[in-house]
Amino acid sequence: MTDGNIVGTGERIQLLHGSGGLMMQRLIREIFFPAFGADNDAGFDDAAEITLHDGPLAFSTDSFVVKPLFFPGGDIGSLAVSGTVNDILMKGAKPYCLSLALIIEEGFPLAELKTIVKSLADTAKIADVRIVTGDTKVVGRGEIDGLVINTSGIGEILPNASISGVNARPGDVLLVSGEVGNHGIAVMAERNGLKLKGNIASDAAPLNASVIPMLERFGESVHVLRDPTRGGVAATINEIAEASKVTVLLDESSLPVGREVEAVSELLGFDPLYLPCEGRFLAFVDGGKAESILRFLREDAGCPDATQIGTVTETSNGEVLMTTVSGGQRIIDMPAGELLPRIC
């Protein structure tokens, strides 16, 4: 298949690709359907038909406006699948299917679109989730910045999971599944044109392979799950502390921050605690089970850098404190204002 086959008139997206006519049909038939394994005829039905078992479902949606579209370790496609898949997982649910909507700017290079579609498909495969329905719109040049993606998804909540941001309680231990801040630094460095030689790559990835086995084995002991996306670890823990009405005490010396992330954060003036991750989770777990869960994550669930970073000390109005390396103590606050625009 060549580009000429698809468009016949060039290698960029035209308004006609969103007009509902022949060119749109060909775009969908020749690029989207093969990537997502859709049926060439039934694929054009107005809605997907799905059958689920009984029991509660998790349903989530997310839009992606990341700039730039391609960054070390990922692109808007891998992000768009991981983002929604992880949100469903954080409710203790196994992702089942996704919808996918693309809004494309006229003139968008077809080759880039193909790369992103492949990335969407590959990530969906890793996440063991099907993209079952979709939509494509094309808007005029300058009306949006390249490409915007929305994904929504449904998952089935695991029978032994009862997970919510209000469930943290004194005695809980706070675990993080790996190094923090990598996604934020990868995107900001790319956007600022920093040529980084080191190994900074976005952590964007679906979390199925670690979360599902952890819940199957320790579901009852996991009280809160949350992926620290916008606002990073600091904002996420603040949200949970407030919702659960507890005090969380972090230990600065145990925070897993990579050397490169630390160095670039210093250069750009960021605090890694506030940088978004797209492939990490925070778990508030029963204190008595924390060690077993941590060992399981490290040895059997593909999270070798998982570590304990804090504890829930008492009930309160919701505050987050940190013991600093010097032995002092300070507040970890909600970020005020816009720190990092268009990071996901």
Partner 1 sequence: MNITNSLRDPAVIRALGAQLKNLSLSRKITLMEVCGTHTMALHRGGIPSLLPDTVRLLSGPGCPVCVTPASYIDRAQEIGKNYGVTLTSFGDMLRVPGNTKSLSESRSEGINVETVYSPLAALDMARKHPAIEVVFLAVGFETTVPPIAMTVMNARDQGIDNFSILTAHKLIMPALELLVNDSDVRVDGFILPGHVSLILGSEPYRPIAEKYSRACVITGFETADIIQGIIMLAQQIEISQPSVEIQYCRAVKKDGNPQARGVIDTVFEPADSEWRGFGTIPLSGLNLREEFADFDASKKFPVEVNAETVQTGCRCGDVLRGRIEPAECALFGRNCTPEHPVGPCMVSSEGTCAAHYKYSRTR
Q: Which spans of this chain sit near partner 1 (rule: CB under 8 A)?
A: 192, 253, 269, 271, 317, 319, 322-331, 333, 336-337
Query: In the complex with partner 1, which residue's Cβ is closer, 292 or 308?
Result: 308
Provide, rounded to whole angstroms, the least separation between the CB of residue 323 and partner 1.
Answer: 7
Q: In this structure, are residues 54 and 159 in contact, taking their beta carbons and an 8 Å threshold?
A: no
**Helices 182-191 & 259-268, crossing angle to 10 degrees?**
50
3-state secondary structure of 259: helix
Provide, rounded to whole angstroms, the least separation between the CB of residue 12 and partner 1.
Answer: 25
| Alpha-carbon span 51 to 159, nearest angstrom | 18
C-alpha neighbours within 13 Å on the C-beta side of residue 196: 25
Provide, rounded to whole angstroms, the least separation between the CB of residue 306 and partner 1.
Answer: 20
Provide, rounded to whole angstroms, the least separation between the CB of residue 284 and partner 1.
Answer: 21
Query: In the complex with partner 1, which residue's Cβ is closer, 142 or 327?
Result: 327
Query: In the complex with partner 1, which residue's Cβ is closer, 142 or 328?
Result: 328
Query: In the complex with partner 1, which residue's Cβ is closer, 112 or 262?
Result: 262
Helices (H), 219-289: 232-244, 259-268
Provide, rounded to whole angstroms, the least separation between the CB of residue 333 and partner 1.
Answer: 5
Structure tokens at 91: 């409710």
Q: In this structure, are residues 307 and 173 in contact, taking their beta carbons and an 8 Å threshold?
A: no
Query: In the complex with partner 1, which residue's Cβ is closer, 220 or 333?
Result: 333
| Alpha-carbon span 332 to 16, nearest angstrom | 51
Structure tokens at 180: 């923090």
